[in-house]
Amino acid sequence: MSSEVIPGAGTGPQGGTASSVLPSTCVVQLRYATLPRCLGAIAVHYWFTVFDPVSRQWRRWEVWQTKNAGGKSIGHIHCDLRHPDCGVGGGAYRLAAEWDGGAARDICAVLARSQEYPHWDRYRAWPGPNSNTFVAWVLREAGLHHSFDPRAIGRDYMGLLGMRLSFRPAYAQVETPVLGVRISLHAGVEVHLLGLTCGLRWSPLEVYTPFGRVVFWKDMGQRLL
């Protein structure tokens, strides 16, 4: 999801920025940040930052609610609309995942054909398609799996009625805008009600809530992510 364009720079988990350390090869980072005001409690916005070793620059790829809002764009898909480190009005970004090598190249190959994203000319904050729908599509097309924050509304969008069966990773999913269910041998069970997620993950043992994840450690301590 995305909200209005609000200027501001974010920092990474260790206080660095995308441009502070330049890798020697292609690197793709998956980042997310909360939306402003009360929306931040239940909704986050995901985007990719890609380091191009040829130009020695970071690029930011995401879906925005406004078509052709800036940078290089294909409808709602934008490259370099905002600085890679900028949040979306609800605070600093967090690093969700990072890939290099073949996985990074696979993601870049999908981004290079972003015009094939089926919703490039459509955007709806709820139930989708939105920024998180795009990120989830890119990762599926690249053959990669990521466990999204349960506040990533839109990541499971499949229209009025959709079904998905995957063997790698193994899961089955049925979705409507009102109710959806995803069962995975690895990731556990999720129930999606009006785009909000509740569920249980097997390993590590986690409970998904609309406000984040509760992780249970071996000593039975817990923390809300």
Instruction: Kindly state whether residues 162 and 98 are assigned to the same domain.
Output: no
Whether 1 and 112 share a structural domain:
yes
Residue 13's domain spans which residues? 1-148
What residues contact 102, with CB distance under 8 A and at least 6 apart? none
Q: Are residues 191 and 103 in the same domain?
A: no
Instruction: Please name which of 145, 87, 84, 135 lies closest in space to residue 114, comparing C-alpha atoms.
Output: 135
Count of CA atoms in the C-beta half-sphere (13 A) of 87: 18
For residue range 61-103, list pLDDT tens digits in order.
999 999 999 999 999 999 999 999 999 999 999 999 999 999 9
Q: Write out the two tokens for 197.
A: 């997620």
pLDDT averaged per 10 residues in sequence order, the chain, 225 residues:
33 42 88 92 95 93 96 96 95 96 97 97 96 98 93 95 88 94 89 92 86 68 43
Could you tell me if 128 and 19 lie in one domain? yes
For residue 164, which phi and psi values (nearest 5 degrees)?
Answer: -140, 135
Report the number of distinct structural domains present in the chain: 2
Q: What is the pTM of this model?
A: 0.85
Crossing angle of helices 101-111 and 131-141, in 10° steps, is 120
